[in-house]
Copies of this chain bind each other. A is one copy, B any other.
Amino acid sequence: MTNHLPRTVRVRSDARDNRARILDAARAVFGEEGLSAPMREVARHAGVGPATLYRHFPTKQALIAETFAEQRRACHAAVRDALADSNPWHGFRSLIERICELHAHSRGFADAFMTAFPEAMDFAADRQRTLHVVGELARRAQETGQLRPDFVVDDLILMLMAHRGLQDTPRAARITASRRFAAYVIEAFGAAPGTKASTPLPPTPRLQLTHSPSTP
């Protein structure tokens, strides 16, 4: 008998095809309509039946996790670049702009990034690590006197949560709005130059992230 090790089990071509088309569809649909888009919409967009979709990704969250792997890498890269920037304040600003842009280009990713799922999806871990690094970056930017001294990392969460409010709008307006919002945020985070000590900020909230989908 020929020793045909079925290495990692043969994957049928149509199955692999469909998997790719489902992921593409998910990126498009979730990207434009957010995570509230029905699974069947993704299925229709991919040209497959609902059962096929559920066979490849047993649950909606599984699909979401796979769908936004690329954006997660982009997010990591943004943080890494920001930390490597020789000018911390410039790095900090670029980071805000890039994160906002990522979130504006994909409603679904923004939802996933900001939403603490009941089952801890690894987006949460990502965000924690990310925020830790941001803390380091912020410390440096404060030392150069360009980031306001009363800034705390939670303020970035605050602004990212606020950024979510811009997402219920068509793609073009959303991206423009996001850019202007980011610019205002950077303006707000910048240390007040010279004499005019800006009025002290109200206390920081203890933000625990949202559970918007499925809160029984």
Contacts and interface: CB of A to CB of B under 8 A. Distances in A.
A158 B183 contact: no
Contacts of A177: 158, 161, 205, 207
Contacts of A202: 176, 179-180, 182-183
Nearest to A186: B199
A180 B207 contact: no
A181 interface: yes
A204 B176 CA distance: 7
11 contacts: A158-B177, A168-B211, A169-B209, A173-B205, A174-B205, A176-B202, A180-B204, A184-B201, A187-B187, A187-B198, A187-B199
Interface of A: 155, 158-159, 161-166, 168-170, 173-174, 176-177, 179-185, 187-190, 192-196, 198-199, 201-212
